[in-house]
Amino acid sequence: MRSTILLTLLLAITLNVEAAHHQPNILWITSEDNGISWVSCYGGTNAQTPAIDQLAKEGFRYLYCFDNAAVCAPTRSVWITGMYGISNGTQPMRSRNLIPHDKIKYYPDLLKKAGYFTSNPGKTDYNIGGRPDKDPWDHKGGKEKYGWRLRKKGQPFFAIVNIGDSHESRAHGNVENPGKDPAKMKLHSYHPDLPTIRKNYAKYAAAVERMDGKVHDTLEALKKDALYEDTIIVYCSDHGGVLARSKRFLYSSGVHCPLVIRIPEKYKELYPAEKPGMTVDRLVSFIDMPKTWLSLAGADIPDTFQGTIFLGKNTEPEPKHHLGFRERAEERLDHVRLIRGKRFAYHKNYMPYAPAGQHLAYLWKAPATPAWEKHHREGKTNEITGRFFEPRVSEEFYDNQKDFDNVHNLMDSKEHEAKIAELKKTLRKRQLELYDTGLLPEKMRERRAAANNLTIYEMVRNKKLYPLEQYLDAADLALARDKSNLDTFVKWMNNKDDGMRWWAITGLHLLEKDASSAKDVLQKALEDESHEVRMMSAWSLVKLGHSEDAMACLDDLLFNGTENKTMLHNVIDWMGEPALPLVKKYITKGQTRKGKYGIGIFGRIAELNGW
């Protein structure tokens, strides 16, 4: 009897030890807005990051880690759900679209179910409606910033420490005393070498170094609590950045992020390489992270999680490609998809008529941006430094090994034809697999989902409501700018589906003068049920020299109401000089010049014209 009890106790102790061993503590340190160029262990020279560098010496530095969205809220929607934003409709900035929460689980809920204490007292910003962002966490905020200190004794923890000292806002304001030497700053090749830009680099470099100091403080707190050798420590940024053409954009400076993971020796079976201090060349996407954290914790992983486990005993095969997406940021519309591997990247611009460097109030708060724009308006930029402010081509292809700054578009290179074809095919395949929600304008898809009492997630999975394959084909024809497709576009303008009419008018618009024979079709489209189609038809007519009815259409939408005010303001701005009378009329009627983060689109036009 006594021996049986003893064996039972020993077995219980063994099981408890094994459970504790296989449920490691996890500390996830995130910094805001800094890509690999700002971290010294990745070769960055502008800022010195000794704490992160030391973590890399003790752990493993990943060479190819990429964000999926290049901006905070859509990125964090990827993290919390383990789903691509384009797959559940959360990709536009601060859209807070609803998702079916009964079908899509948040990873901290699953960690709690597995016995973890979860802590995230800092930034959430999940861009999702229907549930408060703080809701899934045990420790949501308060005086204690190191949430592991609030758990039950012996309970495994998953804690996030988010550091905002490197956020874009730290590059705003006066740059006259930046805290670093501007002369020593290494600029990206797309930035002109101007004193203000150098000073802004220096100011942000100093902010990154303050961020690194907070990383040090966090690690010291973990050591003080005697948890350093019991905790897997992850450090990464939340996307790239931060000066113009990085954050919000899918170029390497916007998506290539640091990722350093320290694994205590007691968990050495989890090492991704032979020993600490080594680099790891596995491709990792942010979409992979929540699934990997659940796997390390021994938690259940629902089928909705779309990433790949990249660490631990359940590691899955390395993916060949990374998928990125970009749509609206604040009040500015854009629509880009990225598919890339470790070296080559293919970008598809679904709104190529919109320049990358559209005025965005928040982006213009950093003195470098208006200085750059002024330099361009004065005609002083060259082909590389001026391209940011010009309309784009439909497709871009870059060799990131030779051209990290992504300034040499190789789309027409015979040498890379096979790789381009491979990436284009892969992108389409992934868009279909993920039910890419972005093939309709944002407000159009919102209206369609609402009309059918569905979330966007549910709507796009109904082929009758969202024929994605058909939209992808239509978009490809529109972006090709081939005049042989003119008759097809004219035919589509009579399609009952406003999505098909959208791609038809996009195709006609991009044909420019080659669409002149479709004047009557464009004229008729000024009364289209879809306001988006009306706007683009009006712009197309103006470009063809037929502006009277077109301007009357835009005037009506502007002053009598539209179902897509954001797009209307963007289209009028893209039109430029022909639309100035409309903007002046709008401003003189006392309409607001403000946007969410400062001067709005029309306010900016008024400012430039001295109204």
Once rounded to an integer, what is the mean pLDDT over residues 470-496? 98
How far apart (Å, rounded) are the C-alpha atoms in residues 309 and 296?
9
Look at residue 435 and tell me whether its pLDDT is greater than 90: yes
Detail the DSSP E strand segments found in 23-152.
25-31, 60-66, 97-98, 117-119, 128-129
CA distance 66 to 120: 22
What is the pLDDT at residue 589? 83
The answer to whether position 555 is within a domain reads: yes
Q: What is the pLDDT of residue 15?
A: 40
Residues 163 and 288 in one domain: yes
In sequence order, the 6+-apart residues with CB closer than 8 A to the CB of 220 are none
Identify the sign of the CA torsion 380, 386, 389, 392. Answer: positive
Is 481 a member of any domain? yes
CATH of the domain at 59: 3.40.720.10
Question: What is d(CA 286, CA 338) in angstroms, rounded to the nearest whole number?
Answer: 14
Give domain status of residue 261, yes or no.
Answer: yes
The whole-number pLDDT of residue 593 equals 72
Instruction: List, in sequence order, every beta strand (DSSP E) within 263-394.
Output: 279-285, 322-326, 336-340, 344-349
Residue 187: pLDDT band (50, 70, 90) is: very high
> Residue 117: which of 169, 153, 77 has the closest Cα?
153
- pLDDT value at position 316? 98
pLDDT of 95 strictly over 70: yes
* Three-state SS annotation for 408-449: CCCCCCHHHHHHHHHHHHHHHHHHHHHCCHHHCCHHHHHHHH
CATH number for the domain harbouring residue 441? 1.25.10
Rounded Cα–Cα distance for residues 144 and 160 (Å): 12
- pTM for this one? 0.95
Under the banding of pLDDT at 50, 70 and 90, the label for residue 9 is: very low
Read off the pLDDT band of 11 (50, 70, 90): very low
> Quick one: pLDDT at residue 21?
52
Answer whether residue 2 shows pLDDT above 80: no
Mean pLDDT estimate for the chain:
95
Confidence of residue 598 (pLDDT cuts 50, 70, 90): confident
| Mean pLDDT, residues 211-217 taken together | 98
User: 277-324, pLDDT tens digit by residue?
Assistant: 999 999 999 999 999 999 999 999 999 999 999 999 999 999 999 999
Q: For residue 594, what is the DSSP state? A: E
Asked if residue 188 is part of any domain, the answer here is yes
In the chain, the percentage of residues whose pLDDT exceeds 70 is 97
pLDDT band at 16 (very low <50, low <70, confident <90, very high): very low
**412 in any annotated domain:** no
Q: Return the DSSP state at 517.
A: G
Whether the predicted pLDDT of 590 surpasses 90: no
**Total structural domains within the chain:** 2
Same domain, 301 and 442: no
* pLDDT of 13 higher than 80: no
In a domain, 8, yes or no: yes
120 and 267 in a common domain: yes
Q: How confident is the model at residue 8 (pLDDT cuts 50, 70, 90)?
A: very low
Q: Identify the domain containing residue 558 by its residue range.
A: 435-575
pLDDT tens digits, one per residue of 218-230: 999 999 999 999 9
Region 544-571 average pLDDT: 97
The answer, yes or no, to whether residue 475 has pLDDT greater than 80, is yes
Weakest-pLDDT range from 7-16, 84-93, 363-372, 527-536: 7-16
Per-residue pLDDT band at 41 (split at 50, 70, 90): very high
Of 51, 47, 35, which Cα lies nearest the Cα of 259? 35
CA angle 427, 430, 432 (to 5 degrees): 110
How much is the pLDDT for 595? 76
Q: Position 19: which residue type?
A: A
Q: Same domain for 444 and 318? A: no
Give 560-579 pLDDT, tens digit per residue. 999 999 999 999 999 999 99
- Among 322, 345, 368, residue at a domain's last position: 322
Query: Where is the domain boundary, 322, 339, 364?
Result: 322
Looking at the predicted structure, is the pLDDT value of residue 415 above 90? yes
424 falls within a domain: no
Q: Report pLDDT digits (tens) over 97-131.
A: 999 999 999 999 999 999 999 999 999 999 999 99
Per-residue model confidence (pLDDT) at position 17: 41
Decide if 337 is inside a domain. no
